[in-house]
Amino acid sequence: EEWKDRGAAVSLKREVDAEGKTVVRSVKKGVRDFSFGRTLGEGSYSTVFLATDRQTLREYAVKVLEKKHIIKEKKIKYVNIEKNTLNRLTDHPGIVRLYYTFQDEASLYYVLDLCNGGELLGVLKKTGTFDVECTRFYGAQILDAIAYMHSRGVIHRDLKPENVLMDDQMHIKITDFGTAKLLPDPRDPRPPENPSTLTNPPDDKRNASFVGTAEYVSPELLTDKAVGKPSDLWAFGCIIYQLLVGRPPFKAGTEYLTFQKIVSLDYEFPPGFPPAARDLVERCLVLDPTRRLTVEHIKNHEFFDGQQFGKELWRTKAPRLR
Ligand code: ATP
């Protein structure tokens, strides 16, 4: 019952019936429809494999979650949040797309867009820092993806360069929606199927004892335990800073010290930091979330002067990394 496969993606297959009429059937994919290849990566609760659809020969990343482990670690709700969120975000090139979900006795399977270019963090580590042109391009792609998910009522809550993957064109795809917050979908007039997936479960202790990377947490989460769309734009400001400098603005020896720096806005710009980028970062890293720049403000900020957003941005060739 816990694993009920609600809203799973299926593919549509065109067939000609006995009378010569074309019929469209939906086909549920299963484990046997894929041939599994090498391991792409491992998470705390999952292993991600390269897999090929035997029919179409199209390659995917398949995330496999072991049910026993998920139950033992009490992560069922988060696994469902990730799936429900991805099922809402199927229509943007900057978000990892979930194509199919299925299960067998032992495991859950998520068939996802393959991101061959690794994590943005790894790419950044190779070059050390990005120049202004690269920062503007990748900043614009991340912002465009944030705009889309916010328009669909999704707050990511854990944006950071590890959660930004790169495809074979070196365009970005945001991933890791296991800690996302789902607001009622502005485009969906129907009541949600299961209201409990719309908010974090009441036993959610992550806000109180934050686990994971502390560096991108917004001050309002630390002081009021309140998270909204502005929290993602705080993280966006941290990412822009990090792309240009090579490290995030708030970093200390322990999580506690990092949190202290965040709530007292204790960070500095190194000499030579580009002035337009500095102004943008300063207006994103504002303690009061109601006074922070919104997505629309950021798109119109001088740092993004002349930058395309929307469809055109995703047709643009990625700049050479520098
Ligand atoms: P944790 O659960 O510990 O936070 P995680 O969120 O990185 O880790 P997964 O989402 O399962 O866990 O991903 C594990 C690894 O697999 C990632 O670090 C990444 O390197 C790789 N990976 C994940 N998704 C894809 C994808 N769509 N394409 C290519 N590689 C991927």
Residue 192 — pLDDT band, cuts 50, 70, 90? low
pLDDT for position 184:
86
Give distance in angstroms: CA of 83 to centre of ligand 1: 14
Give the amino acid at 247.
R
Cα separation, 214 vs 256, in Å, equals 9
Q: Which residues are catalytic?
A: 158
Q: Which of 4-18, 23-37, 213-227, 252-266 holds the top average pLDDT?
A: 252-266
Pocket test for ligand 1, best of 40, 96, 112, 173 (most atoms within 8 A of CB): 40
Structure tokens at 35: 């041939």
Q: How far apart, in Å, are the Cα atoms of 111 and each of 84, 100, 313? A: 14, 5, 26
* Residue-averaged pLDDT of the chain: 90
Cα separation, 49 vs 130, in Å, equals 30
Residues framing ligand 1 (Cβ under 6 A) = 40-46, 48, 61, 63, 96, 112-115, 165, 175-176
Cα separation, 4 vs 7, in Å, equals 9
Angle, helices 275-284 vs 229-245, to 10°: value is: 150
Structure tokens at 71: 């139950």
∠ Cα 81 86 90 (to 5°): 160
Give distance in angstroms: CA of 25 to centre of ligand 1: 32
Predicted TM-score (pTM) of this structure: 0.89
CB under 8 A, 24+ apart: contacts of 25-33: 28/100, 28/102, 29/53, 29/100, 29/102, 29/111, 30/102, 31/102, 31/104, 31/109
First to last CA, the chain: 50
Burial class of residue 24, CB neighbours in 10 A (0-12, 13-18, 19+): exposed
The string of pLDDT tens digits covering residues 42-61 is: 998 999 999 999 999 999 99
Q: What is the DSSP string of 144-160?
A: HHHHHHHHTTEE-S--S
Which atom number of ligand 1 is nearest to the Cα of residue 48?
16
CA 298 to chain centre: 19
pLDDT for position 20:
87
The string of pLDDT tens digits covering residues 212-260 is: 479 999 999 999 888 899 999 999 999 999 999 999 999 999 999 999 9
Residue 8 has pLDDT above 60, yes or no: no
CA 214 to chain centre: 17
Instruction: Please report which residue ranges of 98-131 form alpha helices under DSSP H.
Output: 120-127
